[in-house]
């Protein structure tokens, strides 16, 4: 049974199947939906890349698309862009049906692909101008847009440089500039931070936040859970060509059994303390590895307090205490790992 949902009115993530009477789908596309994908099927010979895939994204969202390799994230994006043909399904953008010749719709979309796809023989400015020219005909307007894009991505000092003179982080920014120069309302980012150093990565994430703040709708594909957690307003987890779960960060985490994980570095291992902690009401699992007491708790506000009080009652001395809320990684592993093992 797969779970999907994510209503704009903030209801908790619910279960839905791929049946056509899933929640929200029978109502028809609303004007606020920027992207509306229904029942998309894409096959490569015997392999089903997208299996009755549904997706809806509202205006202004920073929508995270997560999934293991081969789950169909890039395929879905390419279908939306009409770069791939599909055997079944309906794709609507801003309420309009999408087709390869809907250039008016394409002009409102920007793509930042995973591979750095700039022209090596052209300078930074020339590159951005080239890609922008594919969307915008007016020269004067284009010049202004290119200038703004360079400023936005912080490439002013490198405007005349060729890509091969730029470091990895800078080339990625150029890639982004090329994708957004024409100021699209819908921007698709396909794993933009793979193998990028943390500094450039932060700059990129910050830039995406600004784009969102300025009114753009963003679709963000990545493997890096922490980024998606920080950045995205709503998240979909995909696996094997289908949506497995959709919701906000909080909603997804509530789908998972674990509330938080607590680690205590005891000064001496103590079995009595272990037993006491195990007896606590919210403890799902407790173990002692060396001097470290590890506890997994069900959701609850008093978890750490209970553990600390238990330690205090047992009069045990300890060093550091850590409490880690479940990460999106946990959600991902639980939802997809389990399915794959079946």
Of 3-42, binders to other proteins (CB under 8 A) are: none
* Binder among 16, 37, 155, 235 for other proteins (CB under 8 A): 155
Gap between the Cα atoms of 202 and 192, Å rounded: 11
Q: Where does this chain touch other proteins (CB under 8 A) — which range of 15-23, 197-205, 247-255, 286-294?
A: 197-205
Degrees (nearest 5) of the Cα angle 220, 90, 85?
A: 80
* Torsion, CA 231, CA 53, CA 34, CA 153, rounded to 10: 40
Q: Where does this chain touch other proteins (CB under 8 A) — which range of 22-30, 126-134, 240-248, 284-292?
A: 126-134
Contact of 331 with 238, CB cutoff 8 Å: no
Q: Is the sign of the CA dihedral 252, 258, 259, 261 positive or negative? A: negative
Closest separation in Å from C-beta 342 to other proteins: 14
What phi and psi, each to the nearest 5 degrees, are found at residue 91? -120, 125
Give the 3-state secondary structure of 104-170.
HHHCCEEEECCCCCCCCCCCHHHHHHHHHHCCCCCHHHHHHHHHHHHHHCCCHHHCCCCHHHCCHHH
The structure tokens 């003179």 sit at: 165
At 126, list the tokens.
Answer: 């020339």
Residue 220 binds other proteins, judged by CB under 8 A: no
Number of residues counted as binding other proteins (CB under 8 A): 102
Residue closer to other proteins by CB (options 16, 256) is: 256
At 78, list the tokens.
Answer: 């390419």
* Binder among 198, 272, 290, 342 for other proteins (CB under 8 A): 198
Residue 219 binds other proteins, judged by CB under 8 A: no
Residue closer to other proteins by CB (options 132, 246) is: 132
Q: Tell me which residues in 71-100 interact with other proteins (CB under 8 A).
A: 78, 81-85, 99-100
Residue closer to other proteins by CB (options 63, 158) is: 158
Q: Tell me which residues in 156-195 interact with other proteins (CB under 8 A).
A: 156-158, 165-170, 173, 178-179, 183-185, 194-195
Gap between the Cα atoms of 50 and 331, Å rounded: 22
Closest separation in Å from C-beta 182 to other proteins: 8
* Binder among 30, 226, 281, 298 for other proteins (CB under 8 A): 226
Closest separation in Å from C-beta 12 to other proteins: 22
Q: Tell me which residues in 273-332 interact with other proteins (CB under 8 A).
A: 301-302, 304-305, 308-309, 311-312, 317-325, 329, 332
Tell me the β-bridge partners of 286. Answer: 295
* Binder among 101, 140, 289, 290 for other proteins (CB under 8 A): 101
Residue 113 binds other proteins, judged by CB under 8 A: yes
């Amino acid at each position: 049974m797969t779970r999907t949902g994510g209503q704009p009115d903030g209801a908790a993530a619910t279960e839905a199947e791929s049946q056509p009477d899933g929640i929200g789908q029978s109502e028809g596309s609303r004007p606020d939906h920027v992207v509306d994908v229904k029942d998309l099927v894409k096959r490569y010979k015997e392999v089903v890349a997208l299996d009755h895939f549904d997706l809806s994204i509202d205006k202004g969202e920073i929508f995270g698309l997560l999934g293991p390799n081969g789950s169909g994230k890039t395929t879905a994006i390419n279908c939306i862009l009409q770069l791939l043909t599909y055997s079944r399904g309906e794709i609507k953008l801003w309420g309009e049906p999408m087709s390869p010749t809907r250039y008016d719709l394409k002009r409102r979309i920007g793509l930042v692909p995973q591979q750095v796809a700039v022209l090596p023989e052209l300078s930074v400015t020339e590159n951005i101008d080239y890609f922008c020219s594919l969307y915008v005909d007016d020269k004067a307007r284009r010049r202004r847009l290119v200038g703004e894009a360079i400023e936005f991505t912080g490439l002013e000092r490198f405007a005349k440089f060729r890509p091969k003179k730029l470091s990895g982080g800078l080339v990625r920014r150029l890639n982004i500039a090329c994708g957004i120069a024409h100021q699209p309302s819908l921007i698709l980012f396909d794993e933009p931070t793979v193998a990028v150093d943390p500094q450039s990565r932060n700059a990129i994430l910050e830039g995406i936040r600004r784009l969102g703040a300025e009114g753009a709708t963003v679709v963000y594909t990545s493997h890096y859970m922490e980024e998606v957690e920080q950045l995205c307003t709503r998240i979909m987890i995909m696996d094997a060509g289908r949506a497995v779960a959709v919701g906000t960060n909080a909603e997804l985490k509530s789908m998972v059994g674990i509330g938080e994980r607590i680690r205590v570095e005891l000064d001496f291992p103590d079995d009595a303390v272990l037993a006491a902690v195990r007896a606590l009401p919210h403890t799902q699992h407790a173990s002692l590895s060396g001097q470290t007491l590890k506890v997994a708790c069900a959701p609850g506000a008093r978890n750490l307090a209970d553990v600390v009080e238990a330690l205090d009652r047992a009069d045990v001395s300890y060093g550091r205490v850590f409490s880690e809320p479940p990460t999106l990684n946990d959600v991902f592993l639980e939802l997809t790992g389990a399915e794959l093992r079946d």
